[in-house]
Every structure is written in structure tokens, then in C-alpha cells.
Amino acid sequence: MTPRLIEVRANILKENDVLARQLRQRFKRAGVCVVSFVSSPGSGKTTFLEKLMGRMAARHRIAALVGDLATENDAARLRRACPQVRQITTGTACHLDAKMVAAALEGWVLEELDYLFIENVGNLVCPSSYDLGEQMRVVLLSATEGEDKPLKYPTIFNTADVAMITKMDLAVAAEFDLEAARRSILTVRPGMRIVEVSAKTGAGMAETVAMVEGLRVRAQAGC
């Protein structure tokens, strides 16, 4: 028999995309603003999030999901800033997916939240293909990493909405070339919003809070 060619034309991660779309609608209905964070391991993501949540916790109802490989425990650190934190242990998987997020939300009343932060597993490659239903995806690059990193990981910079340069307090000591880093980001993703922060000195944190709060205001206005 001659083989027949059967057209499928479906996204390989269709199941994740469908689930992520449902999550996005659910978040929207509940009025919760969802922001996810991706970075390399050691970019200071957890410290940054702890500080961000600490600044926002007094005025807003916040929860967080943290994707961890089995050996880490970032969730315990985030609980210092806000009690509603759940850990998602991904086992061998190097990224979160929509299914894991949906399962981790079990029992939480989303309507009682203003913000949900999702900390992805430290990895700049794998998370890029998986939509989590978030409203905004932030990619973090620290001043102790190479300025050309965005050129090596163009996909994640293309799927994120905002780039954040962390550990700016170490920029001088690390001989970090901020302009070169900005150029790399804008080369792979022209027009991308870039925020420079230091969780340690607090620089850029107010701008970050304003950005995240602005996101929720815009969502409520229906834009």
C-alpha cells in the first residue's frame, strides 16, 4: 500500500495553549493580575520577588507560585513577604506549564486576590514555549551575567513583555556594561521595555511597583 499523507497542522503544545487560554480567562473574570518571572538560575529572582511582594503586601492581596527543582526551596523565602505562597516542585522538568499552574491554584479563591506572581524555574530556554496564562511575562537578567545573554536566548526575550536588569548595585564591581546589555535586548526585541533594579538598594523598585499596579488598572479598564 502506498502511504497516505494526513494533514494535521496543529501546534504541538496546543493542549498547553488551550489550558493557558482558559486560565487567562479565569484570571480576568476573577480580577486577578498575573505576572510571571523567568531568568537564569542565580539572577536574584527570588530576592527581587521577595522585595517586590514586601512593598506591595500592605496595599494589595497577593499570592505567589514558585516553580522549584526538587533541591531548592524558594517558597519558604517568599513566605516572609506574604503568607500565600505555594511551591510547585517540577521534578526533572525545567519549566512550569499551564497544567501545573492550574493544579497549584486548587483551593485558592482567585476573586480574593489582586495579584498572583509566578516564579518560573531558573532557566532561560525551556519556559519560553509554555504559556501560563499570565498577563505579563518578565525576563530578568542580572548585572553579574553577560551583556550578550539576550543574543544567546532570543526566544525568551521574544515571548516576554518586559526585561528587568537586576543586581544593579553590583554593576560597577562586575564591570557590567549597561548600554551593551540594553543594546543586546533591543537587538533581539526592538522596543522592549527595560527596567533596571536593585533589590538591595531599592533602586527601580518603585518603578516596578508602578508598572505592575498600572497593569491591573489597565486590565480593569478593559484594555
Closest CA to 65 of 111, 130, 118, 127: 118
Residue 164's DSSP bridge partners are 140, 195
Give φ, ψ of 42 to 5 degrees. Answer: 80, 20
Nearer to another protein, 151 or 209 (CB): 151
Nearer to another protein, 173 or 180 (CB): 180
Distance of CA 196 to the CA centre of its chain: 16
**What would the x/- binding string for another protein be over residues 193 to 222, using CB under 8 A?**
------------------------------
130-149 residues in contact with another protein (CB under 8 A) are 130
Q: Identify the residue among 47, 84, 89, 129 touching another protein (CB under 8 A).
A: 129
CB 195 to another protein: min, Å? 19
Closest CA to 120 of 65, 83, 167, 75: 65
**CB–CB of 64/35 below 8 Å?**
no
- Separation between Cα atoms, residue 222 and residue 219, nearest integer Å: 5
Number of Cβ within a 10 Å radius of residue 86: 17
Q: Identify the residue among 57, 186, 195, 211 touching another protein (CB under 8 A).
A: 186
11 binding another protein? (CB under 8 A): yes
26-85 residues in contact with another protein (CB under 8 A) are none
Tell me, what amino acid is at 181?
A
Q: Identify the residue among 25, 155, 201, 220 touching another protein (CB under 8 A).
A: 155
Contact residues for another protein (CB under 8 A)?
Answer: 1-16, 93-95, 97, 125-126, 128-130, 151, 154-156, 158-159, 186-191
